[in-house]
Amino acid sequence: MTCHEVGRLLDAYVDNELDPGQSAELQQHFASCVACSRRLSDRESLGRLIRSVPYHAAPDRLRAAIAATRPRSRFTPRLLAWAASVTIAVSLGGVTAVRMLRARQAVDASATITDDVIGSHVRALMADHLFDVRSTDQHTVKPWFLGKLDFSPPVDDLAPIGFPLVGGRLEYVAGRPAAALVYQRRQHTINLFIWPESTGSAAEDVRSARGFQVRHWNRGGMSFWAVSDLNDTELAQFEGALQH
């Protein structure tokens, strides 16, 4: 079972909706795949967070007032005002909880993708599979992706500022197809992962993990993730060149 297949079945697995055979296959995969095991842990943590959101029960006074009201009787203005105040207070509490939950989801998703892009970077280096197409010509690399992805990744030539393009390949990151462009800075390799941005957010992210620098930004409807063992100052220069 591949990481992509695990990504499609992960929610059903967490909710105990899979048959025993599928569950056993996923458990076997989790035992051998660190990235998917972390994704499972993140998803289970998210479930616990959702269940921990406070439940706001109606106060006894409101329950008693409603129970004592006859079918044709009307609420008094004071009771209506008081009930409206309770509703607003509960709603505000719910909005706060939802905002906290969404913020936590964004952090968890970013951490999961960070692990995936670093994992893809390391695997490509260890397996000596950095390239499906090897070329320093952006007009060779960009057309190569046609028909292989359902989007056209932007391919920039950064050789004039010391980050030459050296090729590209297909990748799967967080269960989605991505273009991986490979750039060089002296003896350092930079993997730039690109896929369509679905949330429309403009969030930027800078992280350091497992000895690698990771930078994330969005531009022109695309999500960009750059990872390298290059120092942060030069990787920031690389990002800045692609932002303009």
Number of neighbours of residue 219 by Cβ within 10 angstroms: 14
User: What whole-number distance in Å separates Cα of residue 171 and Cα of residue 177?
Assistant: 6
The verdict on pTM exceeding 0.75 is no
For the chain, the average pLDDT equals: 82
Q: For residue 175, what are its two tokens?
A: 């269960």
Degrees, nearest 5: CA angle 144-148-149: 110
pLDDT score for 72: 54
User: What whole-number distance in Å separates Cα of residue 175 and Cα of residue 152?
Assistant: 18
- pLDDT higher for 55 or 11? 11
Contact 224, 193 (CB under 8 A): yes
Instruction: Work out whether the CA dihedral 33, 194, 210, 132 comes out positive or negative.
Output: positive
pLDDT score for 39: 81
pLDDT > 90: what percent of the chain?
39
182 forms beta bridges with 167, 191
Residue 156 has pLDDT above 90, yes or no: yes
Q: How confident is the model at residue 213 (pLDDT cuts 50, 70, 90)?
A: very high
Residue 68 has pLDDT above 80, yes or no: no
pLDDT score for 30: 86
Query: For the residues 158-165, what does the mean pLDDT come to?
Result: 96
pLDDT score for 160: 95
Inter-axis angle of helices 3-14 and 20-32, nearest 10: 120
pLDDT score for 163: 97
Instruction: Work out whether the CA dihedral 227, 230, 232, 235 comes out positive or negative.
Output: negative
Contact 114, 38 (CB under 8 A): no
Residue 194 has pLDDT above 90, yes or no: yes
User: What whole-number distance in Å separates Cα of residue 194 and Cα of residue 197?
Assistant: 9
Residue 242 has pLDDT above 90, yes or no: yes
103-125 residue pLDDT tens? 444 444 567 888 889 989 999 99
Sheet holding 212-219, edge to edge: 133-134, 165-173, 176-185, 188-196, 222-228, 212-219, 205-209
Please, what are the domains in the chain?
A: 3-107 (no CATH), 130-243 (3.30.200.100)
44-53 residue pLDDT tens? 877 776 666 6
pLDDT score for 105: 44
Contact 175, 186 (CB under 8 A): no
127-141 residue pLDDT tens? 788 999 999 999 999
Residue 189 has pLDDT above 90, yes or no: yes
